[in-house]
Amino acid sequence: MKMPSLFLPHGAPDLPLSGHPAAKFLQQLKRNIPNPKAIVIISAHWETFGVQITTAPELETIYDFGGFPSELYDLKYAAKTTPELIEKIKNLLGDANIQFSANNRRGLDHGAWVPLWLAFPDANIPIVQLSLDRRMNAEDLFKFGQVLGVLREQNILIIGSGASVHNLGNITPEGSPVADWAIAFNGWLEGVIENNEWQKLLKFSAVPHYKQAHPTPEHLLPLIVAAGAGLDEPTSKIHSSFSYGSIGMSAWMFGD
């Protein structure tokens, strides 16, 4: 069975406790996709020079944040992987001449475990997280996604986890009106993705309001990978909302 590629929001770390519409969307995600054999996830919160692959048999829940309610630190996602999945990814990257290194100490950051905790709470699907390579530009990341897209034919789900808009310097109380610039950039994203205009997507940094929507690019880059993994197949927006006024929580499915 062929899996899609997804771009999912992870929001603030307390999303699992929030009752936010995006949390409810993630909790219902399994209704809209087949059950994957394995998951490969790329998060905004793991950037390295060179691609790294998690290879620990059990992936620790990383609390890479502070200042949240104590019950959030009690949440654990008991993620595991398999040697077969790791070997499959190593072979795929090697065949594509993509340099990588194994990391047997790294667990899952909140950009990875928060959406997985909500969408796949049983934690019974093998998972590998890949880092974002700081050396790759947008075109490189799109091609990286195209390489990963081959895994979809093997019933492996590709997930990019980030935010369609991410400006922590302009957050407002939950439920506040969303800034015009955030709506404008999010709308631009929706348009180019709906029309499969990938060259326009790769030039995101030239779009008006980009620097307000993303003072730094890391939360947008997993979207580029996920779009590449869609292999130019039909796309669909599967969720849209905002959190704290300046965090875009849109989600897309690439392929079906």
Q: Which residue has the higher pLDDT, 68 or 22?
A: 22
**Structure confidence at residue 256 as a pLDDT band (50, 70, 90):** confident
CB 246 within 8 A of CB 176: no
Give the pLDDT confidence score for residue 56 in this predicted structure.
Answer: 98
pLDDT digits (tens, 9 = 90+) for 164-220: 999 999 999 988 999 999 999 999 999 999 999 999 999 999 999 999 999 999 999
Average pLDDT over residues 100-123: 98
CB 44 within 8 A of CB 162: yes
All domains of the chain in start order, with CATH = 5-254 (3.40.830.10)
Q: How many angstroms separate the CA atoms of 108 and 146, rounded?
A: 23
Q: Where are the beta strands (DSSP E) in 177-250?
A: 235-239, 242-243, 247-248
Q: Show Cβ contacts of residue 105 under 8 Å, excluding neighbours closer than 6 positions.
A: 56
Query: Does the model's pTM come out above 0.95?
Result: yes
Closest CA to 138 of 214, 53, 250: 214
